[in-house]
Structure 1
Amino acid sequence: MIGRRNFGKALGMVTVSTAAASCGRTSDPSSASAAVQTRAPASEIDKTSRVPSFGVVGQIHAGELNIGYAETGPAHGPVVILLHGWPYDIHSYVEVAPLLAGHGYRVIVPYLRGYGTTTFLSGKTFRNAEQVVFAQDIIALMDVLRIERAVLGGFDWGSRAADIIAALWPRRCKALVSVSGYLITNRKAQQQPLPPTAEWAWWYQYYFSIARGELGLAKYRDDFAKLIWRNVSPTWHFSDATFNRTARAFDNPDYVPIVIHNYRWRLGLAPGDPRYDGLEAKLAEGPPVHVPTVTLDGALDPFTPTGNGAAYRSKFTGPYAHRTLQGVGHNVPQEAPEAFVRAVLDADRM
């Protein structure tokens, strides 16, 4: 494994040129520029702040989206797809990606719908953020990139999407790394109250259920994200440059609609797309995951269930390992990149 002392050398493999993208990929500068309207260009900020960056992001039409994604590592290596959550972006994996590339993996890190340079192909498309569509987006991306199987890793929204693919389309998932374990949402169970301390951690979900919350997110999106980062990762002392690098992803015009719909849908306060009712019915049954899996919990993450993974152990029926990371909060890949990389390697070798 590449240690931190070699990270600077490995990071040189991260920056990717769209011109070097494989046949069939498209560049859509208009959509990318529309997503970043109020901040300085990434290259300009990164030169002054000296924080690592993925540099140029590739763009490709996949399903109903034009997906922005970073890619590094050998073109013909085994594929790892890494998925971020809210309120984060692809840079949660800016240290993980070069380490995995150093092990020979082709690493792909896409912006989820509503983030960064990922945009809808049509202005008329329903800005749907129910859980299954994020998994469908990744399947569409794999199809257009001609990736039959990949190791999937994620946290937060990314864990949920990866879990869904592993459960519903296991032939597309070689192995799984899932932070916080089994995150497939049961909307019926979401109607039941939690103990007050657990409800407190979800305060923003309830705030977003009212019009005031939607207006608040639109007006204070950076303040929201920074507050969440500090609350759920109490020992992660990120710099302003690190935050600003990710905050550019929130300038996407669909960011607020996607975030609001996601949390309202979970609580049964907003409808999904009827086309996905059949898949959502399957997910409501809590399908098990049979592929090799490593689950990770940050010990300081307020969303980590008690019991050292016991709360969701029965959901993973294949080769399995669980690790609780001491001193780590919610954003595991950015707070503990080497532990995340080790989990990917171990899951793939199971």
Structure 2
Amino acid sequence: MRLVRTPVLEIAALEQGPSDGAPVVLMHGFPSDVHDYEQVVPALAAAGYRVLVPWLRGYGPTRFRNPATPRSGQQAALAADLLGFLDALEISSATLAGYDWGGRACCIVAALWPERVRGLVTIGGYNIQDIARANEPALPTQELRYWYQWYLNTPRGEAGLTANRREIGRLLWRMWSPNWAFDEPTLARTAASWDNPDFVAVSVHSYRHRYGAADGDPALAPIERRLAARPRITVPTVVLEGAADGAMPPTAEDRHAPMFTASYRREVLPRVGHFLPREAPEAVVAAVGSLGAAG
């Protein structure tokens, strides 16, 4: 593990592989942590990549540098953190891969700063939120899947996440990846990251900001304005989706394809759920490899 200091955070990250290898940054989601990629990292490192896996803000050993910094979980914050991480390590461009919150950060950096991205593996497709339309009702089946988002928009939900973060995490894992037979030690290793003092605040803000129930960090307003224009992604991309994703099941029609304008490939993996890097690590390794040589 290494610590990377950005203007806002001290980001903890795992690093493996040759220091002169082509950099790959792997980004985890909610509620999880860097253990998502424990079967991906060794394979990529063995192939000659320099692999970096940071803990997101509010997770694990990552910490805010200033107690006055808003504990924002908005999408612009996640992207700014990733860009700051690349800057601090003096990485001019990298292959990015992620899902859920981490995939959102990867998609935003690829959309707004394409010169920093050699290739993109986005699990779940175009993960940039359309906040202007976020309060339009979805089909009842999808509204049911988003129960945790409505829950965290209430004081009861904030108190519940504070008291029951492991139980909520276990429930979401089972609901979102119904075919993944994880054990309690696996959950415990990741759940330790949710003891971060800012985990609840960042999580709650994320699910309130996207529905207009919480203000964003004013420092991030310029990024949010750019995202409101629904920018296309202009870098080579592989989209991976789990056919059994209990949070956002893939559709038969590739509704995300128009948002990508460079080389593009979509793969839907049977029986795989939301936590795809844990369930099908070989697919992530292959997708990264398909985007370019290790250098």
Shorter-normalised TM-score: what interval? over 0.9
Partner in structure 1 of residue 54 of structure 2:
110
Instruction: Please tell me whether the aligned partners of residues 328 and 336 of structure 1 are also in contact (alpha carbons under 8 angstroms).
Output: yes
CA–CA distance in 1 between the matches of 2:231 and 2:289? 25
Any stretches of 5+ residues in structure 2 without a counterpart? none
Corresponding residue to 2:146 among 190, 193, 202: 202
Which amino acid is 2:196 matched to? N
Instruction: Please tell me whether the aligned partners of residues 128 and 272 of structure 1 are also in contact (alpha carbons under 8 angstroms).
Output: yes
Deviation at 1:58, TM superposition (A): 1.3
Instruction: Please tell me whether the aligned partners of residues 63 and 137 of structure 1 are also in contact (alpha carbons under 8 angstroms).
Output: no
CA–CA distance in 1 between the matches of 2:232 and 2:221? 19
Partner in structure 2 of residue 299 of structure 1:
243
CA–CA distance in 1 between the matches of 2:27 and 2:173? 17
CA–CA distance in 2 between the matches of 1:240 and 1:340? 24
CA–CA distance in 2 between the matches of 1:178 and 1:166? 10
1:14-163 mapped onto 2 (5 Å cutoff): 57-163=1-107
Partner in structure 2 of residue 174 of structure 1:
118
Instruction: Please tell me whether the aligned partners of residues 148 and 172 of structure 1 are also in contact (alpha carbons under 8 angstroms).
Output: yes
Count of paired positions: 292
SS at the partner of 1:296? strand
Corresponding residue to 1:315 among 249, 252, 259: 259
CA–CA distance in 2 between the matches of 1:305 and 1:322? 11
Deviation at 1:210, TM superposition (A): 0.5
Partner in structure 2 of residue 37 of structure 1:
none
Which amino acid is 1:158 matched to? G
Partner in structure 2 of residue 17 of structure 1:
none
CA–CA distance in 1 between the matches of 2:229 and 2:173? 32
Partner in structure 1 of residue 167 of structure 2:
223
Which amino acid is 1:304 matched to? P
Instruction: Please tell me whether the aligned partners of residues 107 and 122 of structure 2 are also in contact (alpha carbons under 8 angstroms).
Output: yes
Q: Which digits, 9 at most, give the CA deviation of each residue in 1:200-239, with x for residues without a partner?
A: 1100000000000000000000000000000000000001
Which amino acid is 1:94 matched to? E
Instruction: Please tell me whether the aligned partners of residues 69 and 108 of structure 1 are also in contact (alpha carbons under 8 angstroms).
Output: yes
Deviation at 1:347, TM superposition (A): 2.3
Superposed structure 1 runs of 4+ greater than 2 Å apart: none
Corresponding residue to 1:281 among 209, 225, 232: 225
CA–CA distance in 2 between the matches of 1:144 and 1:89? 21
Instruction: Please tell me whether the aligned partners of residues 63 and 141 of structure 1 are also in contact (alpha carbons under 8 angstroms).
Output: no
Deviation at 1:129, TM superposition (A): 1.3
RMSD: 0.9
Deviation at 1:265, TM superposition (A): 0.4
Which amino acid is 1:75 matched to? S
Q: Which has the larger radius of gyration?
A: 1
Which amino acid is 1:101 matched to? A
Deviation at 1:248, TM superposition (A): 0.5
Partner in structure 2 of residue 165 of structure 1:
109
CA–CA distance in 2 between the matches of 1:175 and 1:267? 30
Any stretches of 5+ residues in structure 1 without a counterpart? 1-56
CA–CA distance in 2 between the matches of 1:269 and 1:284? 17
Which amino acid is 1:242 matched to? T
Deviation at 1:263, TM superposition (A): 0.4
TM-score scaled by length of structure 1: 0.82
CA–CA distance in 1 between the matches of 2:276 and 2:291? 16
CA–CA distance in 2 between the matches of 1:63 and 1:90? 22
TM-score scaled by length of structure 2: 0.97
Which amino acid is 2:58 matched to? G
1:323-338 mapped onto 2 (5 Å cutoff): 323-338=267-282
Instruction: Please tell me whether the aligned partners of residues 151 and 176 of structure 1 are also in contact (alpha carbons under 8 angstroms).
Output: yes
Deviation at 1:190, TM superposition (A): 0.6
Which segment drifts farther, 59-68 or 215-224?
A: 59-68
SS at the partner of 2:131? coil
Which amino acid is 1:232 matched to? W
Which segment drifts farther, 121-130 or 321-330?
A: 121-130
SS at the partner of 1:167? helix
Corresponding residue to 2:204 among 238, 243, 260: 260
Corresponding residue to 1:193 among 128, 134, 137: 137
SS at the partner of 2:291? helix
Deviation at 1:282, TM superposition (A): 1.3
CA–CA distance in 2 between the matches of 1:165 and 1:221? 29
SS at the partner of 2:26? strand
Which segment drifts farther, 112-121 or 122-131?
A: 122-131
Which amino acid is 1:261 matched to? H
% identical aligned pairs: 44
SS at the partner of 1:185? coil
Deviation at 1:305, TM superposition (A): 3.3
